[in-house]
Amino acid sequence: MARYFLDTGPIVGITFLHDLWRTESERLFDTDNTLYTCQTAVYEYCNRTDSNSVETADIDWETEEGRFGDKFSTVRAAQGNLDIKLRSYDDDELDLDTLVDLFISEARIKENVFPQSLIEEYIRPNLEDFLSEEIGDQDLTSKVARQAMDALCDTIQTQARNKKKRLKRRVKMAPEQDGDWKMEKRQLDFVGYRDRLILCDAAYMKDRGLLDKVVTVDSNHMYDNRKKIEAILGIRILLVKDQFADDTSYLTSGAESKGQDTD
C-alpha cells in the first residue's frame, strides 16, 4: 500500500456520477492505499460560501456548501426542468442521445468543462450507461423518459450524500502543520492561494516522512507546474488519470497514463 494526499478535485470526482473525473477517481478510491486530505480541501469541497473564508469557516464534512453544494443544487434544479421539458416531446422525438443531451444542458455541464470534447469522452458514457440500464427493454415514451431522468437525478443526489459520508471515514485528515511556510507560499505564487495551502499541508507530511505524492485533477496549474512544485517542496504531483499502487483496474482498462506509481 502507498499513501496519497488528495486535493479537492478527486474528492468531488468520486462524489458525483456526472463528474468529469468520476471513473478515474473511483479507481483511486477502490485501492487499499491510505488517502489523506486537509482542512482547506474539505473547505473547498463542502464549506465554502461567498461570506466565509478558509480561515473563518467552521470546517466539517456535513455541510452542503462549496463545490458539493454547487453541483448538488444544480442537479436538483435540473430535475424539475427536465420533467417539464420532456412533457413537450412526442414519443418519436426521443432517444438515448436526446436524453443525455438534455441532462448535459440542464445540469450546466458545458459551462464547466473545457475542452468540451472531454464531455463526450468521460461524462456521456456514464450517463448513457445509467439511462440505458434504467430504461431497459421499455419503449422510450415521454413517461418512461421522465421516469428515467427522475431516477438519474435522484440517484446522483442520493449517491452524493452517501459518498460524502463515506469520504469522512475513508480519507484521513492531515496533521496540523507547524510554522507559517511563508517563504514556500511566496515561491508558489503561480498557483492559487488555497492551492498553496493544500500543497504546504502535503509538504509538511512529506517532511515528517509520511508521504510525498499529491493527486490532483488540475492539469493547468498543479500538474503543468509539477516540476517547479517538486523543486520547491519535494513532493510529486500525480494526475488522477495516472496509475496508482494496488490499482489493478488500470492494467485491464486500456487507460493511458502520464506516469506510474507503484510504491
Question: What Å distances lie between residue 6 and 33, 47, 129, 174, 236, CA to CA?
Answer: 12, 17, 28, 10, 12
Tell me the pLDDT tens digit for each residue of 10-29. Answer: 999 999 999 999 999 999 99
pLDDT of residue 180: 81
pLDDT-derived band at 249 (thresholds 50, 70, 90) equals low
Q: Which contacts of 202-209 are long-range, i.e. CB under 8 A and separated by 24 or more positions?
A: 202/5, 202/36, 202/38, 202/174, 202/233, 202/235, 203/233, 203/234, 203/235, 204/174, 204/175, 204/177, 204/178, 205/5, 205/36, 205/174, 205/175, 206/233, 206/234, 206/235, 207/234, 208/175
Q: How far apart are CA 15 and CA 50, in angstroms?
A: 22
pLDDT band for position 262 (cuts 50, 70, 90):
very low
Predicted pLDDT at 250:
56
Q: Which of 257, 228, 263, 254 is nearest to 240 (CA)?
A: 257
The cell numbers describing 16, all together, are 458525483
Of the pLDDT bands very low, low, confident and very high (cuts 50, 70, 90), residue 252 is very low
Cα distance between residue 45 and residue 250, in whole Å: 26
Q: Please compute the mean of the pLDDT values over residues 184-192 and round it to a whole number.
A: 95
Architecture of the domain whose range is 3-63+169-253: 3-Layer(aba) Sandwich (3.40)
Question: pTM score, two decimals?
Answer: 0.92
3-state helix, strand, coil in the chain (%, to 5): 55, 5, 35
Q: Which three cell numbers stand for residue 152?
A: 438519474
The confidence band for 32, taking pLDDT boundaries of 50, 70 and 90, is very high
Cα separation, 246 vs 207, whole angstroms: 24
Burial of residue 194 (CB within 10 Å: 0-12, 13-18, 19+) is: middle
At 91, list the grid cell.
414519443
Domain locations along the chain: 3-63+169-253, 67-165
> 176 pLDDT band (50/70/90 cuts)?
confident
Residue 138 has pLDDT above 90, yes or no: yes
For 203-239, write each residue's pLDDT tens digit: 999 999 999 999 999 998 999 999 999 999 999 999 9
Residue 257 clears pLDDT 90, i.e. is over it: no
Is it true that the peptide bond before 115 is cis, omega within 30 degrees of 0? yes
Instruction: Tell me what percent of the residues of the chain surpass a pLDDT of 90.
Output: 88
Among 13-17, 82-86, 129-133, 251-255, the least confident range: 251-255
